[in-house]
């Protein structure tokens, strides 16, 4: 009798923990100013300079309606929709000429004031941003 109860309890704890570790829309909403951008898996690792970040003022904006946009140098660099899944922000990016692509941003760290996310494809970038 104790073994089934133990299994049920362990299952409940596992699901509760999984839910706590997933991203919530409220956590990512708003405008996030890029403070660090790098390509850690390139050889040699590459980063965007602080001067370039200050000049171009890049940011990503997550809206409550499921839309996002990335702005760089005052121009929209990317836009589309997003959905959350665990620690991923799954992006559907709208490209020119009716094309699109889907990819995840893996969120490795998030607080009320800062987020670090990266694309996991080869040559993908890692971004650290602060909430504006």
Q: For residue 36, is it within any domain?
A: yes
CA distance 58 to 53: 7
Q: Which tens digits make up the pLDDT trace of 85-118?
A: 999 999 999 999 999 999 999 999 999 999 999 9
Give the closest residue to 36 by CA, choosing from 44, 45, 27, 28.
45
Q: For residue 42, is it within any domain?
A: yes
Which of these ranges, 5-19, 32-46, 112-126, has the smallest mean pLDDT? 5-19
pLDDT value for 93: 97
Number of domains in the chain: 1
User: Longest Cα pair distance anywhere in the chain, in angstroms?
Assistant: 66
Q: For residue 66, is it within any domain?
A: yes
pLDDT value for 14: 39
* Rg value, the chain, Cα: 18
Q: For residue 33, is it within any domain?
A: yes
CA distance 11 to 66: 31
**Which residue range forms the structural domain that includes residue 45?**
24-131
Instruction: Output the six-digit token pair for 43.
Output: 């050889």
CA distance 37 to 46: 9
Domain with residue 28: its CATH number is 2.40.128.280
Q: Which tens digits make up the pLDDT trace of 32-47?
A: 999 999 988 777 778 8
pLDDT surpassing 50 at residue 53:
yes
CA distance 20 to 12: 12
Q: Which residues contact 95 (CB under 8 A, 6 or more apart)?
A: 101
pLDDT value for 44: 74
Mean pLDDT score, 16-22? 54
pTM: 0.81
Place of tokens 């987020």: 115
Q: For residue 11, is it within any domain?
A: no
Strands (E), 6-125: 30-39, 46-47, 59-62, 67-72, 75-85, 88-94, 100-110, 114-119
């Amino acid at each position: 009798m104790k073994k089934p109860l133990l299994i049920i309890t362990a299952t409940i704890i596992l699901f509760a923990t999984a839910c706590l570790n997933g991203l919530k829309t409220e956590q990512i909403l708003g405008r996030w100013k890029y403070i660090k951008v790098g390509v850690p898996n390139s050889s040699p690792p590459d980063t965007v300079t602080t001067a370039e970040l200050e000049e171009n003022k890049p940011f990503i904006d997550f809206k409550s309606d499921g839309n996002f946009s990335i702005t760089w140098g005052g121009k929209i660099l990317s836009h589309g929709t997003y959905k959350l899944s665990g620690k991923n922000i799954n992006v559907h990016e709208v490209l020119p000429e009716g094309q699109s692509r889907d990819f995840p941003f893996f969120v490795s760290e998030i607080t009320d004031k800062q987020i670090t996310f990266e694309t996991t494809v080869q040559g993908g970038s890692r971004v650290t941003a602060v909430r504006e």
